[in-house]
């Protein structure tokens, strides 16, 4: 017959356990456990105590053992459930995320990093958020190598932040090869519990080129769709801008370095219209042209998910969007100074130079 370990109590311990049993302030669980220990100290076996108190024998054995190991503190509270929490080596987590890549892969995922560190994916995600790490994202960039970058930057940002008096500042560009895409099968509309559907394949029904001029002051847009985007179409659009703007205002047009914008025929026409002043963005710096922001809006809000069975239908949709935009225009506000932008470019060039030197060595 298995005999339970003997429990021997000092007078102080017996008095404390008796006080717990008698007190109305003691929890039911603690009072029951104290009664188990007092009966065990009287020499009763676990089975006898269990029968007397109406509990399971294993429960009595568990609390007898804990009291022998930790005395009163062993029965005052339950042991924590589940496995003990695993501490994350945050320094190693950040180092692995920023300084290394998983084998045969380009970037870490939460589960891959969790397996590497032996922690949960939720812990990895929590610490990535805390440290602002997003290895699943990739952002493109291009630092301009234009030798006149500083002069062009200061010129254009100056127009945005301190526009000249009695003049209009227009950001002009063309969005070329806008496709009239039709889907091969009709999609399903949005409904509760289901997203809108659209086939991944499509039919091409031709293209058009959108020429647009964004008024920096009020956000109004002058638009025109044309079949091509040569200097002929560009000149045609310049003439439209000239017609639709007040004659008593000088025009400062911000455009990119596309060869069409500097064609000799265009230059000859500009010489005959001295109120129009051209300002060209640096090479690889089209982000300086605020009309690109309008192109993003029309792409995401009207073109990307649109279905067009013909080019005229596409042109009608573009013109309708511009008309709607002009009913309640909202200008884009430029906030960065030329100095702020230049400091970022200098830092980028510094990092690129250090990377290139490290590669050479």
Query: Is the Cα torsion angle 21, 26, 28, 34 positive or negative in sign?
Result: negative
How large is the angle between the packed helices 46-53 and 28-41, nearest 10 degrees?
A: 140
For the chain, the first-to-last Cα distance in angstroms comes to 79
Contact between residue 24 and residue 87 where contact means Cβ atoms under 8 Å apart: no
Predicted local distance difference test score (pLDDT) of residue 231: 95
Distance between CA 249 and CA 15 in Å, rounded?
100
Predicted local distance difference test score (pLDDT) of residue 357: 56
Contact between residue 228 and residue 311 where contact means Cβ atoms under 8 Å apart: no
Predicted local distance difference test score (pLDDT) of residue 360: 46
Closest CA to 5 of 33, 38, 50, 44: 44
- DSSP for residue 256: -
Predicted local distance difference test score (pLDDT) of residue 361: 44
Predicted local distance difference test score (pLDDT) of residue 1: 58
Provide the residue ranges of all domains of the chain, joining segments of one domain with +.
11-74, 90-131, 153-335
For the beta sheet containing 250-255, the strands, ordered from the edge strand earlier in sequence to the opposite edge, are: 221-226, 202-215, 167-183, 250-255, 276-280
Distance between CA 186 and CA 199 in Å, rounded?
8
Distance between CA 281 and CA 186 in Å, rounded?
42
Q: Which stretches of 146-242 are assigned E, i.e. beta strand?
A: 167-183, 202-215, 221-226
Please list the pLDDT of the chain residue by residue as tens digits (361 residues). Answer: 578 889 999 999 999 999 999 998 989 999 999 999 999 999 899 999 999 999 999 999 999 999 999 999 888 888 777 777 778 999 999 999 999 999 999 999 999 999 999 999 999 999 999 999 999 999 988 889 999 999 999 999 999 999 999 999 999 999 999 999 999 999 999 999 999 999 999 999 999 999 999 999 999 999 999 999 999 999 999 999 999 999 999 999 999 999 999 999 999 999 999 999 999 999 999 999 999 999 999 999 999 999 999 999 999 999 999 999 999 999 999 999 999 999 999 998 888 887 665 554 4
Size of the chain in residues:
361
Give helix then strand counts, H and E, for the chain: 14, 5
> What are the tens digits of pLDDT across the range 219-252?
999 999 999 999 999 999 999 999 999 999 999 9
Predicted local distance difference test score (pLDDT) of residue 356: 65
Distance between CA 46 and CA 83 in Å, rounded?
28
What CATH topology corresponds to 153-335? Nucleotidyltransferase; domain 5 (3.30.420)
Contact between residue 255 and residue 289 where contact means Cβ atoms under 8 Å apart: yes
- Which residues does residue 214 pair with via DSSP β-bridges, in sequence order? 171, 221
> What are the tens digits of pLDDT across the range 256-285?
999 999 999 999 999 999 999 999 999 999
- State the residue for tokens 């039919």: 203
Predicted local distance difference test score (pLDDT) of residue 243: 96
219 conformational bin, left if phi > 0, alpha if psi -120 to 50, beta if neither:
left
Distance between CA 168 and CA 331 in Å, rounded?
13
Structure tokens at 235: 């000149």
Predicted local distance difference test score (pLDDT) of residue 307: 94
Closest CA to 260 of 237, 230, 286, 217: 230
Contact between residue 297 and residue 330 where contact means Cβ atoms under 8 Å apart: no
Cα torsion 97, 101, 106, 112 to 10°: value is -70
Predicted local distance difference test score (pLDDT) of residue 358: 56
Contacts of 17 (CB under 8 A, 6+ apart): 9, 34, 37, 38, 72
Contacts of 62 (CB under 8 A, 6+ apart): none
């Amino acid at each position: 017959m298995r005999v339970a370990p003997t429990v021997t109590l000092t007078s102080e311990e017996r008095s404390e356990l008796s006080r717990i049993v008698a007190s109305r302030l003691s929890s039911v669980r603690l009072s029951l456990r104290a009664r188990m220990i007092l009966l065990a100290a009287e020499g009763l076996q676990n089975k006898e105590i269990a029968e007397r108190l109406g509990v399971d024998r294993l429960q009595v054995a568990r609390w007898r053992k804990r009291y022998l190991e930790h005395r009163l503190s062993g029965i005052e509270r339950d042991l924590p459930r589940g496995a003990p929490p695993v501490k994350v080596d945050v320094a190693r987590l950040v180092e692995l995320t920023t300084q290394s890549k998983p084998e045969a892969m380009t970037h870490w995922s939460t589960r891959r990093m969790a397996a590497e560190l032996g922690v949960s994916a939720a812990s990895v995600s929590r610490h990535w958020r805390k440290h602002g790490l997003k290895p699943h994202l990739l952002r493109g960039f291009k630092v301009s190598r234009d030798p006149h970058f500083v002069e062009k930057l200061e010129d254009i940002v100056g127009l945005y932040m301190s526009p000249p008096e009695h003049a209009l500042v227009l950001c002009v560009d063309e969005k070329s090869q806008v496709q009239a895409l039709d889907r091969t099968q009709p999609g399903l509309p949005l409904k509760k519990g289901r997203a809108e559907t659209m086939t991944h394949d499509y039919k091409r029904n031709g293209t058009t080129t959108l020429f647009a001029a964004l008024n920096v002051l009020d956000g109004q847009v002058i638009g025109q769709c044309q079949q091509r985007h040569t200097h002929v179409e560009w000149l045609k659009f310049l003439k439209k801008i000239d017609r639709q703007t007040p004659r008593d205002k000088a025009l400062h047009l911000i455009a990119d370095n596309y060869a069409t914008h500097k064609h000799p025929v265009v230059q000859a026409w500009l010489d005959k219209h001295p109120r129009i002043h051209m300002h060209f963005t640096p090479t690889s710096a089209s982000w300086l042209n605020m009309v690109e922001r309008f192109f993003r809006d029309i792409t995401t809000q009207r073109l990307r998910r649109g279905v067009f069975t013909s080019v005229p239908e596409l042109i009608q949709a573009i013109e309708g969007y511009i008309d709607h935009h002009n009913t309640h225009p909202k200008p884009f506000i430029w906030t960065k100074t030329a100095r702020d932008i230049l400091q970022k470019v200098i830092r980028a060039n510094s990092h690129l130079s250090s990377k290139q030197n490290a590669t050479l060595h």
